[in-house]
Structure 1
Amino acid sequence: MRANPIELKKYAPEWTQLLTAVAFTFATLFAGKLLAQDENSATESTNICLQTARDALVSCKSAARSDYEVAIGRCINITDPAGRRSCQQQAAADLADARDTCSGGFDVRRASCQKLGPGPYDPIINPTNFTTTIDNPYFPFTPGTTFTYLSRNGRIRDVFAVTHDTRVINRVTCVQVHDSVYTNDELTEDTLDFFAQDREGNVWYFGENTAEFENGLLATIEGSFLSGVNHDKAGIIMKAHPAPGDFYRQEFSLGNAEDFAETLNLNS
């Protein structure tokens, strides 16, 4: 039955009100969801530490994928089918391991952010606040002193020699330490480390030139960094007055050299 136009006019306002109410409710819910998303995004955008961890994760996975593609390119140039398959399988395994390493690094950074806080890491380096006299009782460096550390099984020997040499890094004059690691009496790592102490007694780590060797040949210089170069930054290697619960960065070269320190107790 065809409705009377008058009746339509009579009920139209009620339907309009209902549809308007539904539309308003939906718009309110949608706007609330967007607002919540905006608030979450704002929170994440202000958490520089966590965003840094995520950026490093993306970069790490991208590098892993890039290495995989290069490896596959090498594999397809192997004419022997068995050798080619073995190469491809190894490339896939290496990619999986690299991704696991990336995820592990992210987990460490994310956990560290919970202790460090959301702010950026940008320590103020004032050259007049530093000295080459390093007399922190927990980390004293007297030029000419050599420390030797042995692993429990005696296979690894670390020789830590405080030299009389200095080097200016990020406008700060630093003490140069020669750190040599031997595995079964064969040199496997050779590093120059650079330290300075601030007026409060904290010992800072300003960088390292490091090289690792395999079978007597240079394998990598990864881990090398200098504060002030490529936005790399110094960190505290030992506080003047450490306390249980202290947690801080010892170096900051994102994706290259990142160490943290946590004080557990002062009785060891």
Structure 2
Amino acid sequence: MTKGRILARLGLGFVVVMCGAFIGWSGAQTGAYCTQTADTLLDACKAGILDDAAVGKAVCINITEPKARTTCLDDLADSQDEAKRLCEGQHDTRLAACGVLGEGRYDPDFRPARFDNPRRPSNPNPYFPLGIGKHWEYRSATQVNTVDVVNETKRIAGVDCIVFRDLVFEDGLIHEATDDWYVPAKDGSVWYFGEEVKDFETFKGDNPLRPELVSIDGSFKAGRDGDKPGIIALASPKVGDVYLEEFSLGNAEDVTEILSTTYSYGHDPVLDEGVPGVLAQRFCAGNCVVTKNYSLLEPGLFARKYYARGIGTILEVENTGEVVQLVNCNFDRRCANLPTP
């Protein structure tokens, strides 16, 4: 789940610990594959700036009024400068990650034999329930986010994934609609094989006022256009583990670091920051997992996510100050009468 929803952004790059040999790195460590990838993506980012600038200039050329045309060109120049800074920021983050995480290729083995039937996993992960019919509702100051495990599967690269339907609403109108595709591995980890993202927007003055599809950015699918699956939940997380959630270069590159596997409220001021005490005390009796999530595409942003045993995600605290918290679920009595933002 991601993209302005419950899932968080910003990343360090490539995985450090990917369940040992189950994931694995390929290629000799003498090859600077990570740095080569970072440099190549910087070239791609710069090329994209030139392409966008040419289209933007063409738009400005077709504005008749001189003052408005000049404003258009000035705005275009400002946006180019901002885009260049973003490209450099992404590149710097990737290079820093390469220095910490190594230069190996990311090429996980996702043969079907490694995975379970998603409807009846033999080794279910207690921190990421997959049961059909489960429902979660989250709220922030401005949005309502519902997540449902629907009675559907999707076969991707020979692997059957369960479908999570993730909807975000603002002012009662749909803002994001996403299908996430997850599958349990036989070792107890849960893998993320992709997502179909639809972003909607409404426009003042429209009549009737209806959300319009404006973007599918962030959509990815293992086996398509070089995309590869990642892990959404480790079988046996340990503090310091870092693993890749998404691998769709230049499009979706999220990673997670394990910060705690024994969280309870009131023992760590850093992890308590922004956490509603009543919520944490309801779910975290020294056994909540706390992660830090990042995306290479948004340098400087991150979020802490809190997972409760038997429930899954209960809270996201972003470094922007936004808090997204669980307010209801349909399968556990602990979800009754939860506080709201």
1:52-99 deviation per Cα after TM superposition (whole angstroms, max 9, x unaligned): 111111101110121011101111222211011000011111111211
Residue aligned with 1:79, SS: coil
Show the counterpart of 1:103.
Answer: 88
Question: Aligned partners of 2:194, 2:219: CA distance in 1, in Å?
Answer: 7
Show the counterpart of 2:139.
Answer: 150
* Per-residue deviation, 1:245: 0.6
The partner residue of 2:240 within 245, 248, 258 is 245
Question: Aligned partners of 2:96, 2:243: CA distance in 1, in Å?
Answer: 12
1:113-134 deviation per Cα after TM superposition (whole angstroms, max 9, x unaligned): 2343210000011101111145
* Per-residue deviation, 1:45: 7.6
* Paired amino acid for 1:180: L
Question: Aligned partners of 2:226, 2:74: CA distance in 1, in Å?
Answer: 38
* Paired amino acid for 1:240: A
Q: Does 1:214 align with 2:201?
A: yes
Q: Does 1:235 align with 2:230?
A: yes
* Paired amino acid for 2:67: A
CA 1:190–1:124: 2 relative to 1, 3 Å:
same
Q: Which runs of 4+ in 1 moved over 3 A?
A: none
Show the counterpart of 1:39.
Answer: none
Question: Aligned partners of 1:252, 1:184: CA distance in 2, in Å?
Answer: 33
- Could you tell me whether the CA contact under 8 Å between 1:44 and 1:51 is conserved in 2? no
Question: Aligned partners of 1:224, 1:101: CA distance in 2, in Å?
Answer: 21
Residue aligned with 1:136, SS: coil
Show the counterpart of 1:169.
Answer: 156
> Could you say which structure has the greater relative contact order, defined with CA pairs below 8 angstroms and 6 or more residues apart?
2
The alignment's C-alpha RMSD in Å is 1.7
CA 1:115–1:138: 2 relative to 1, 3 Å:
farther
Question: Aligned partners of 1:44, 1:82: CA distance in 2, in Å?
Answer: 56
Gaps of 5+ in 1: 1-42
Write the mapping of 1:86-125 to structure 2, written as runs, cut at 5 A.
86-125=71-110
* Per-residue deviation, 1:103: 1.8
Q: Does 1:200 align with 2:195?
A: no
CA 1:162–1:217: 2 relative to 1, 3 Å:
same
* Per-residue deviation, 1:44: 10
CA 1:118–1:147: 2 relative to 1, 3 Å:
same
1:216-259 deviation per Cα after TM superposition (whole angstroms, max 9, x unaligned): 11110011111001110000111001111111111100001110
The partner residue of 1:139 within 108, 128, 134 is 128
Gaps of 5+ in 2: 1-27, 203-210, 264-341
Of 176-185 and 125-134, deviating more is: 125-134
Question: Aligned partners of 2:92, 2:109: CA distance in 1, in Å?
Answer: 27
TM-score, normalised via structure 1 length: 0.80
Show the counterpart of 1:5.
Answer: none
The partner residue of 1:78 within 52, 60, 63 is 63
Question: Aligned partners of 2:166, 2:64: CA distance in 1, in Å?
Answer: 45
Question: Aligned partners of 1:165, 1:112: CA distance in 2, in Å?
Answer: 37
**Hey, which of these two has a bigger chunk of helix by percent?**
1
Residue aligned with 1:105, SS: helix
Residue aligned with 2:163, SS: strand
1:189-215 deviation per Cα after TM superposition (whole angstroms, max 9, x unaligned): 000000001111111000011110011
- Could you tell me whether the CA contact under 8 Å between 2:29 and 2:104 is conserved in 1? no
* Paired amino acid for 2:62: N
